[in-house]
Amino acid sequence: MDLFSFIQTPEHDELLQLRQQLEEANYRYYVLSQPTLSDREFDDKMRRLQELEAQHPEWDDPASPTHHVGSDLSAKNGFRQMAHRYPMLSLANTYSEQEIQDWYERVCRELGQDTASGNTGVEIVCELKYDGLSIALWYENGVLTHALTRGDGTRGDDVIQNIKTIPSVPWQVDKQTLEIRGEVLLPWTSFDKINHEREAQEEPLFANPRNAASGTLKLQDPKVVAARGLDIYLYYVLGEDLPGNTHYERLQYARECGFPVSDAIRVCRNIGEIMAFINYWGTARRDLPVATDGIVLKVNSLAQQQTLGYTAKTPRWAIAYKFPAERQLTRLRKITYQVGRTGVITPVANLDPIQLSGTVVQRATLHNEDFIRSLDLHEGDDVWVEKGGEIIPKIVAVEPRQTESGMPTEEFRFPDVCPECGTPLVRDPEQAAWRCPNETGCPPQLKGRIEHFVSRKAMNIEGLGVETIDLFFEKGLLRDIADIYRLRVEDIMRLDGFQQRSAQNIIDGIEASKQVPWSRVLFALGIRMVGETTAKKLARVFPSVDRLAAASSEQLVATEDVGPLIAEGIRAWFDNEDNLLIVQRLKEAGLCLQADEDAAAVQSDLLQGRSIVISGTFVHHSRDEYKDLIAAHGGKNTGSVSKKTSFILAGDNMGPEKRRKAEELGVELITEDQFLQMIAQ
């Protein structure tokens, strides 16, 4: 059996898939601040990968996620990158109190101490694990000179101007040269305020305070950063000739210097004291003004830390215990149903109010009929609700409630008619969703399409928010998207709350939307499954609404990323006479329903027939912009490396799996500058 056939096993495929998933999760967590995995899911995948690599050392790879920390470095963010004086490693994680005891006993053994007596001579400092963004502050002769993010553990972004907006960070301390590390946080009150503002602007909500803090710290304008209200807790001091021989003494010194150090710290001398600290803060943390997700345990003696040393990515003298995702038991009072702009019916759980992760929760999504049946859910059941740091609460388990007669509660039945317009529902054969087919008469669908049409990434019409659209719809001024272009100042001024200026601002916004390019107009039309990216690709292949309306299903499917279902949805939309009438009215209103000639002129066939993979981060353009450039010059964007890949457009922090695969197959790597020079020809 040759080596290649030996490697192609289910376990090896699982290993490669885990590496790819973890690299992608790291990129989304650290760089994009858009996590796709919970901490528990990430850690479970990491442990499984470690198991596979231990079982098969011949498959080890220095570039594996098990050998390095996640990186928040981004070449395009404009910050100066600097090397850390001391490696900024991550901590080993556990969710098990038994594993905490095992770690403590292992530390004691390696230090030659006996745990049987209960007094080992090994002190452990227990601290709260704040859920924010790691930072290293450098002070030269007492003056703050740099503030580095974790980056990739060896290099970080210097965000000193943004750090200086945090009131509790001292710009100058005693004439000491030191490095102090900590966590940049966004308090719950600031987090809620930011998300309310983003919701009003129809921007994606931050999933949790950690992501909001990360996104804020990487902003280019310190004034915006200052307005968001970041906070910081510092917890680790490094440097030469500092007072104290223990971690705890160093923290007390930092506090005396004026650094913001948490009061929630305890020196523990045995496993019982450690567990008491963990159990106390497992409940008490809910009353804190900032997010916490666990407890950090560190060997107190600096000499003992030195003896224990480090692994490739974690210190052996420290470990993080992660609290279980917070959950509460409450009662499901009623299931109600929302109708989306495409007619999809979404069930919503209405709950007795509970406190979760700093907020009051009264509603949770139930996704669809299949999800409800998988839980065997009934109105009146007691349900476990989990938030786990995310915005949207979810029901994770059910404890059935018995009626007074001892019989189970009434069996769940999904409605068979639309809760808004009474039209019989239809089940989408390809999905688990029920839909209302009354596209032209169901009010939530009509209003939802208008809301989508005016949104920021579509036509971006300011002044037409959800409440205004509801009012205009109620008063008969709007029934479809084309009605927007018939609005007049005098019509709006007849309504309560509108004066000349506010009415004129809306009309000005409507007029400005006539300059929006064809690809965004296509996205704004709200055709099912035609998102922003798909609309761009369709607009290139079909440079006018007439060309798209006349396209056959076969022509549509030939477009990149357009499958049979999307093609069917497009054909159904243009086969509808009401939609064709709307398109004609939009034409008469002067909207841009064909590609700009100048934009078409820059397209070429330079990359015709070439399949290109993009990997890493870039300086001159975003990944999406490079995808547009590739498509504009006839190339095909692909997500994975194969024998058919023509080359990889390789930026900073290129994924190690893609690099390994490219080397294995002999696929060429092209830098950002080389690519731009190539298409400039």
Q: Per CATH, the architecture of 518-600 is what?
A: Orthogonal Bundle (1.10)
Does the pLDDT of residue 4 top 50, yes or no? Answer: no
Contact 453, 524 (CB under 8 A): yes
Does the pLDDT of residue 212 top 70, yes or no? Answer: yes
679: how many CB neighbours lie within 10 A of its CB? 15
326: how many CB neighbours lie within 10 A of its CB? 18
Query: Domain 443-515 adopts which CATH fold?
Result: DNA polymerase; domain 1 (1.10.150)
Q: Which amino acid is at 460?
A: N
Comparing 112-116, 177-181, 468-472, the range with the smallest average pLDDT is 112-116
Gap between the Cα atoms of 345 and 347, Å rounded? 7
User: What's the pLDDT score for residue 323?
Assistant: 87
Helices H / strands E in the chain, number of each: 26, 22
Does the pLDDT of residue 340 top 90, yes or no? Answer: no
Gap between the Cα atoms of 93 and 322, Å rounded? 7
Contact 614, 637 (CB under 8 A): yes
Q: What is the mean pLDDT of residues 123-145?
A: 93
Domain boundaries, the chain: 3-64, 93-322, 326-437, 443-515, 518-600, 604-680
pLDDT: which is higher, 117 or 474? 474
Beta bridge partners of 648: 613, 669
Q: Cα torsion for 356, 362, 367, 373, to the nearest 10°?
A: 100
Residue 3: pLDDT band with limits 50, 70, 90: very low
Residue 116: pLDDT band with limits 50, 70, 90: low
Q: Using alpha carbons only, how large is the chain's radius of gyration in Å?
A: 29
Gap between the Cα atoms of 626 and 251, Å rounded? 47
- Token pair of 299 as six digits: 């060997």
604-680 CATH pick, 3.40.50.10190, 3.90.1300.10, 3.40.50.10860, 3.30.460.80? 3.40.50.10190
Beta bridge partners of 668: 647
Pairing outcome for strands 668-671 and 645-650: parallel
Does the pLDDT of residue 132 top 70, yes or no? Answer: yes
pLDDT: which is higher, 453 or 465? 453
SS (H, E, C) 351-374: EEEEEECCEEEEEEECCCHHHHHH
Gap between the Cα atoms of 481 and 573, Å rounded? 15
Gap between the Cα atoms of 447 and 449, Å rounded? 5
Does the pLDDT of residue 390 top 60, yes or no? Answer: no
Element (H, E) at 517: none
3-64 CATH pick, 3.90.550.10, 1.20.1630.10, 1.10.287.610, 1.20.1530.20? 1.10.287.610
Any idea what DSSP says for residue 497? T
The set of catalytic residues is 129
| 34 three-class SS | coil
Task: Give the closest residue to 656 by CA, choosing from 595, 605, 615.
Answer: 615
Q: Average pLDDT, whole number, for the chain?
A: 85
Q: Per CATH, the architecture of 93-322 is what?
A: 2-Layer Sandwich (3.30)
User: What's the pLDDT score for residue 331?
Assistant: 92
Comparing 9-18, 33-42, 91-100, 417-426, the range with the smallest average pLDDT is 33-42
Residue 462: pLDDT band with limits 50, 70, 90: confident
User: What's the pLDDT score for residue 410?
Assistant: 64
What CA–CA distances, in Å, run from 551 to 39, 72, 542, 545, 563?
Answer: 46, 44, 8, 10, 14
Asked if domains 443-515 and 518-600 share a fold, the reply is: yes
Residue 477: pLDDT band with limits 50, 70, 90: very high
pLDDT digits (tens, 9 = 90+) for 367-379: 888 888 888 888 8
Q: What is the mean pLDDT of residues 204-232?
A: 84
Q: What percent of the chain has pLDDT over 70?
A: 88
CB within 8 Å of 349: residues ≥ 6 apart? 332, 335, 363, 364, 365, 366, 383, 395
CB within 8 Å of 1: residues ≥ 6 apart? none
In the chain, what are the helix, strand and coil shares in percent, each to the nearest 5? 40, 20, 40
Comparing 75-89, 290-304, 328-342, the range with the smallest average pLDDT is 75-89
Contact 29, 35 (CB under 8 A): yes
Contact 134, 181 (CB under 8 A): yes
Any idea what DSSP says for residue 544? B
pLDDT digits (tens, 9 = 90+) for 259-315: 999 999 999 999 999 999 999 998 888 788 898 889 999 999 999 999 999 887 789
Q: Classify 326-437 by CATH class.
A: mainly beta
Pairing outcome for strands 93-94 and 318-322: parallel
User: What's the pLDDT score for residue 391?
Assistant: 57
